[in-house]
Each structure stands twice: as structure tokens, then as C-alpha cells.
Structure 1
Amino acid sequence: MAFLIAAVVFVGTLCTLDLVLTLGVIKRLREHSEQLSGASGPGGRFDTLDPAVGEEVGEFATATVDGERLTHGMLAADTLVAFFAPGCRPCREKLPAFVDHARALPGGRAQVVAAVVGDPAESAAFVAELSPVARVVVEEGPDAPLSAAFRARSYPTLLRVSPDADGTVRVTANRMTLDRPVTAAR
């Protein structure tokens, strides 16, 4: 009988300890959920490192791989701007869809700017794919003129920009989906 009482006390103690630990875990999960909900953006989505919609694009002056001068003032309405890095697996995966999307744009190559950020030798494959559909700039790091002007901190970054009524170039879209067909404005 003493053995049975000891076993019941042991199981009861074990269950009480399990309950206390479970309540602690639940409390911790609630704290984490609150922290995560504070970090999420509109619609419960996490904010990215991408520039925000409405954010002003900084001044820049650079040259494309074709030697063409490219400045802040040369960005037309509804320009697609992309930042890729050669060592980035998601960049390699998204590149073919981006090229197809850019090829279908009504304004053609003049409406697309692509920056390849990384070692110029490693960037050659990206440049070869992007050159027919975009004005391509190769930059060695995030502090280079184009990357700094757009504050591009993650790759791939896909944006739409347009000058506003005052001529200030602003980000108009920062979460682009490349699977939707492109249609010309009517």
C-alpha cells in the first residue's frame, strides 16, 4: 500500500510540474506573439527591408554597363527598379521571371533599371540576362550611388518608382509580384 501511495504522489507531483512548465511556455508564446504583431506591417505581413511606399528616392548619378549616364531625374513615370546580387539564391530564382516581366512592359528597356550588386566578375551572368530588357548598373556594394539612393538593403529588391507632381521621385510599389501579366495603360 505504501508503494501505491508513493507512486500516486510521484505522478501527482510530476503532473503539477508539467502544468507549471506548460503555463510558462504559454506565457512566453504570448509575449513573443505580441512582439511579432508589433513588428508586422499592414495586413499582418512583416515589414521588409525594402524602401516604403511613398519614400523619396535619393539623388544619384551613375553609368550603366553600356556607358549610358543614369541620374535621378531620368527616371520616368512607372519605372521598374530591381536590385540583384550574384551570390543570392532567391535572386537567381527570381531573375527569369523578372526578365520576362520586364520584356512585356509597354515602355520597354527605358522603363527598367536593374542594379547588380557584387563583384563585377561574378555579375557577368546577371548582366548578360538583364541587358536586353533593362538599363543595367553594376555596383560593388550597398554604399554605391544607386543602392544608396534607393536604400536597397536586401536582395532581390523590386520596386516601382514615379516622379510626383513636384518632380520628386518616390517609391510607388515595393512588393511586386511577377506572375501577373503586364498590360498597357488605356
Structure 2
Amino acid sequence: MSYLIAVVALLCALCLVLLLVTLGLVRRIREHTKLLDALYEQVDLMGPLQAGAGPAVGDVVAEFAATTVDGAPVTRDLLADGTVVAFLSPDCAGCHEQLPELASWAAEQDRGRVLAVVDGRSGDPESLVATLRPVAQVVVDDAAAPVGSAFGVRSYPTFFQVATGGRLLAVAPRISRLPAGSAA
């Protein structure tokens, strides 16, 4: 009987040690996640400033013509002053992570001033389209990718704020980093 108690006590002690190790690992992973997030923020801040790293504030978007999933035409000249343009891809984990924040923010905006461009060349865009269609104009950029090419998009997600005539007011990797998107 004392042998059985010793084995149970040993197993309990081992479980306790393993629990403490697991909690320590979880804490360490959270610390590393915060550090990586801070690093990504620094890279995002530096990215548009580097030559050739993509469009920058003050650039003018090239002319384009596309049609929304609702059949409305979209061109550079039809974008209202202050329009936010979000580029998303079905295969992008960051896009899916930011989707609830974008949809919540867009629901509080004028639908005509929010354009979501979903990459139709990869994955299944239907979930992104279904989520954003009620709150934004949605374009599925197909193989020709006229909108993505006009904006010079190099990564997903990317968010732009555009002035009349297609001049870029802001470029950001998150909706919350745009001046218009800070109150989600």
C-alpha cells in the first residue's frame, strides 16, 4: 500500500512539474509574440519609406477600371475623397485576422467610401466577399488584377486612404494604422 501511495505522490509531483514547465513556456511564447509584433510594426513603419518598397503617401494611383460584385463600376476617378481601399487575399492569415476589425470599422462608415479588393487568383474569396459585401464595395481582382496593379500592391493585407484624383493620403498594413481607421 505504501508503494502505491509513493507512486501516486511521484506522479502528482511529476504532473505539477510538467504544469509549471507548460505555464513557463506559455509565458515565454507570449513574450516572444509581443516582441515579434513590435518588430513587425517597425518593419511596417520602415517599409513604405524604402525606395522601391511599394506605393508611398503622395503617389498617384494609376488609372483602372473594375466592377464590384454588385455590378457597380469602380475607377480611380470615381473614388470619393478619403476613400479607404483594403487589399485582402483568401490565403492570407493576417487578412482573416484583421477581417472582423475591418468589417466592424466599415459598418460605421459610408459604404461608398470603403472599397475592399479581394485577390481572386488564390484560394476561395467567397468568405471575405460575404463578410465585407454588406459594409463595403467589393471587387474581386481576377487574373488581370487591374486594381491591385494600379495601386502597386506587393503584400496582403494592405490598406490605403485615397484623395480625389487618386493621390494616396496614407498607406498602412492595418486598418487601425490609417488616420480614417483609428476608431474601430
TM-score (norm 2): 0.66
2:57 is matched with which residue: 35, 53, 73?
A: 53
Instruction: Flag structure 1 segments of 5+ consecutive residues without an equivalent.
Output: 1-41
Q: Residues 46 and 75 of structure 1: is their aligned pair in 2 closer, same or farther, counting only changes over 3 Å?
A: same
1:134 is matched with which residue: 133, 136, 142?
A: 136
User: How far is 1:50 from its partner?
Assistant: 4.7
After superposition, give the CA deviation of every residue in 1:5-34 in whole Å (9 maximum; x if it has no partner).
Answer: xxxxxxxxxxxxxxxxxxxxxxxxxxxxxx
2:99 is matched with which residue: 95, 101, 106?
A: 95
2:77 is matched with which residue: 61, 73, 79?
A: 73
RMSD (CA atoms) = 2.4
User: How far is 1:103 from its partner?
Assistant: 1.2
TM-score (norm 1): 0.65
Q: Which has the higher Rg, Structure 1 or Structure 2?
A: 1
CA contact (8 A) 1:120 1:139 kept: no
1:10-159 matched pairs, under 5 angstroms:
45-48=45-48, 49-105=53-109, 108-119=110-121, 122-141=124-143, 143-159=144-160
CA contact (8 A) 1:50 1:174 kept: no
Where has structure 1 moved over 3 Å in runs of 4 or more?
A: none
User: How far is 1:68 from its partner?
Assistant: 0.9
User: How far is 1:88 from its partner?
Assistant: 0.4
Structure showing the higher helix proportion among its residues: 2
Separation of aligned partners in 2, 1:136 and 1:120? 16
Q: Percent identity?
A: 39
Q: Residues 131 and 55 of structure 1: is their aligned pair in 2 closer, same or farther, counting only changes over 3 Å?
A: same
Separation of aligned partners in 2, 1:177 and 1:124? 21
Q: Tell me the number of residue pairs that the alignment of Structure 1 and Structure 2 aligns.
A: 134
After superposition, give the CA deviation of every residue in 1:148-186 in whole Å (9 maximum; x if it has no partner).
Answer: 1111111000110012xxxx321101125427316xxxx
Instruction: Flag structure 2 segments of 5+ consecutive residues without an equivalent.
Output: 1-41
CA contact (8 A) 1:64 1:137 kept: yes
Are 1:181 and 2:177 counterparts?
no
AA in 1 matched with 2:59: E
